[in-house]
Amino acid sequence: MSEIVDDGGVASAARARIGETVRARLERNPMVSRIDAPHLEIYGRQEFLSAEECAGLRELIDAGAQPSTLFSGSANADYRTSASCHLSPWSPLVMAVSDRICALMGLAGEHGETLQGQRYQAGQEYKAHCDYFPVTASYWPAMLKTGGQRSWTAMIYLSAVEAGGETHFPHCGFMVPPVEGMLLMWNNMERDGSPNPFSLHAARPVERGAKYVVTKWFRERPWTP
């Protein structure tokens, strides 16, 4: 493959190869379904975790949850109102879940960030955002040194929600309702390895109940905290 350069001047051929590899692996798996979205590669795997595993992860999140912050350091407190925490990679449960995600997607564990837990109570949300790093952002040079761009996102719903709490992809025109144990995976890059604006998504406000998820982001190169 010829070298591809994104609008930040960073070679993105490696990201395109990652996308090809994961796409092929997921589409061969009869337990994985692709969601019909012409401009976004997004897949679901039902019953990825058991009810017991979901309950165990919810307990870990409750034990460590703090008010969520924005990666950019923005002071807009209304933009992300959930609680979150980085789960210990040495926890047997966290380690098992992380390894299972990597095995399903065919991605190396060292490319994955620490599993992050998030909890949304009634009224809480995370407004529209992208998981990839804008190449014009002040923190982009630092991200280049710690593993580069976030290529894929893997998110597992750990609870059913009585009302609300959907994952909304506004540019694609659909929402995914929380289903306990379901794994949702999407490519944050276009097929050429450049950031895909159609990956913009939001956690819709929870109307009734509580929403728990864990998220694992994969970098284009090994991640160094």
- Checking if the pLDDT of 56 tops 60, the result is yes
Closest CA to 167 of 50, 72, 42, 53: 42
- Sorted by sequence, the CB contacts under 8 Å of residue 77 that are 6+ apart come out as none
In this structure, is residue 3 part of a structural domain? no
Whole-model pTM: value is 0.92
Tell me if 30 is assigned to some domain: yes
| pLDDT of amino acid 76 | 63
Q: What is the CA radius of gyration of the chain?
A: 17
Q: Quick one: pLDDT at residue 69?
A: 76
Domain count within the chain: 1
- The domain in which residue 212 lies consists of 13-219
- Looking at the domain assignment, is residue 4 inside a domain? no
Sheet holding 83-86, edge to edge: 33-34, 42-45, 183-187, 150-157, 211-219, 116-120, 83-86, 66-67
Rounded percentage of the chain residues whose pLDDT exceeds 90:
86
Is 145 part of a structural domain of the chain?
A: yes
204's tokens: 């819709």
Q: When comparing pLDDT for 213 and 225, which is higher? A: 213
Rounded average pLDDT over 56-77: 80
Residue 7 in domain: no
CATH code assigned at 199: 2.60.120.620
Tell me how far the alpha carbon of residue 201 is from its chain's centroid.
10
pLDDT tens digits, 73-100: 554 667 888 999 999 999 999 999 999 9
Does any domain span residue 6?
no
Spatial CA neighbour of 53 closest among 108, 97, 9, 113 = 97
Domain presence at residue 109? yes
Q: With cut-offs at 50, 70 and 90, classify the pLDDT of residue 4.
A: very low
Q: Which helix (H) or strand (E) holds 59?
A: helix 51-64
Residue written as token pair 């870990």: 60
